Chains A and B, each alone.
Chain A
């Protein structure tokens, strides 16, 4: 089936976790890999299933519970599709309540091994590589490879892969789809793309002539957007069963495997076809899509995404600012004269410098993976996604803000320090009453910058399935196949957020600065008689 991705990101997590020096040991891994351990973390009567909810007709996100859709955990949205129907059958046979956990594709396997979900039902193929980390049940769907091309192009009526000689063809990165392109003689193989979104946009814009996909995805694409046509082959690609089959992923040695197989055995070949046909018919976004209909259908989803983005970036900026203030303050303490204190100061400064260098020197997207999945795999800590997101943004902003604040403190006129010292203030009194208020005013533009950057950069948190604006837009686009229009809406929303924030901060700056001239007013405050110095 789709997606034979290797565990590139999973491997990065492992390597980085070791690098960072997590207390790693084999018993810990095996502990979190066993099924009974994971079920201990969850309520016993719940069956938690991970899927992207953005890969129709297998799984998608919709706004209501029509056509038997199931609520997505932690959101107000619903998941529907072939995978959801299969999950319902399995949950019923297990006698447990079905919970759908919306998870990014790259996050599915880590989520399973770290016990955040009980099973992956997401159109996943049971490949050898995956079998090294997780177990698979029996097959629950089998599909053929097809080619999606542009409507009206010369490849529209192709019947054999030979017809694609000389065509610009690509497929999704790290999938077997990409490997089979080599079977076309004389093909102009393009660089693999990260996701279907990118390939569909590339196809629409004429950058490529076609991409390799599977039948359900092809049917959906051509139904949703008239620009796309699916080419089915009489003389097609040679594939192995492990590629075209789809089965349920479960934790190694999970007691669930047998029970799920029993449940799947009750679904006949005919039932499967029926479920798949229904899924293809029911999948959203088959009508005419305009920007207005996208907003109308998905308005709440966009707004919730924007709200989440704003919440994370604002909390992250505020907490990061606090961290930065603290670190900046400690780093500018004057060197004490006592030797023992000097050593302590040097150690603390060293640690703080290491913190700043590490978080400034690594991408936030990698930190997100390490912290969210790494903590679960290495330490068995199940972090709340939102908490993890805020944590990551905060410590990141903190690292940048520390340097901004340190620079701000250094740039305050030396006379201000001296005047404060001359009235007898100690370091912290000086900082609190005189220096920091000026620093904060001076670094306000830089802080605004960080806030704006955070609004935009929270989009990388979609890798840990935080339902911020980018993640929501991907879901919307994944179901209506209108990438330009969907992302245009997101684009406008991002701009509105950043522009508003910049304006507000500029207003605060002006307010803080006050006028340059003092208009002397009659002084109402001090009317009582003040004794002169001579009376003293």
Chain B
């Protein structure tokens, strides 16, 4: 089985910030908007290098989304930045009417997604945002797994016309995908080859899935790990090809099982190839305060949970 090395833990939000810095140099139409969280979103470089293209909106997320929609008229490519909770649930109707329905080229970039925001607790965490965003017609939904991939995705969405939700996180996590990788929206990345179980993971759970695959290998179980960075549009072909080999699936995400990646995969399987599936996700609950590692453990979002789910789903074949 192919092994992956952590080249040095970094936060995915820094991948976004560094991607934005690069876009500032290469694409004069890129503008950035922030709702009083410039440092948290790692947008300081862009702000300092291009003050005329950086818009501090204040604590007014609804206004930020509306301004971003309006800025596309005349050719700008707005990147909005705030926490995932305030990027989605707080401004759902603004995104729905002014961005998605109006087909505006706005990039909604959301940090501190999921439960790993940690100590701030459930008011600032969000485990429903993938569902909220994927239900909007025309919205592309991306959840990247590490620093390198987040940076690549940030560059890729600027070149893609249409509304995008880009979801990333706060804590430092393993950085293991290639530097300067080509990011293809809607294209799954197969990380390991396997024959017994397919593990489809997104975001911070991809590294956990790789750790789980190593544990499973030691136990004589061959796991195929697929990194689904784009939840919508979903790479159905990659999923079906893998499942044709393995005959069972574990999906893993830092999100509620309702409305998340797992449900999108389940629909694909139900339509084309009914297959046993287990869900590593939160179980219709809010989060709480704690360290990211404690929360991942308590809410069953780590390698151990993926190993357990894999064993369970294999037994159901």
Same complex for A and B? Answer no
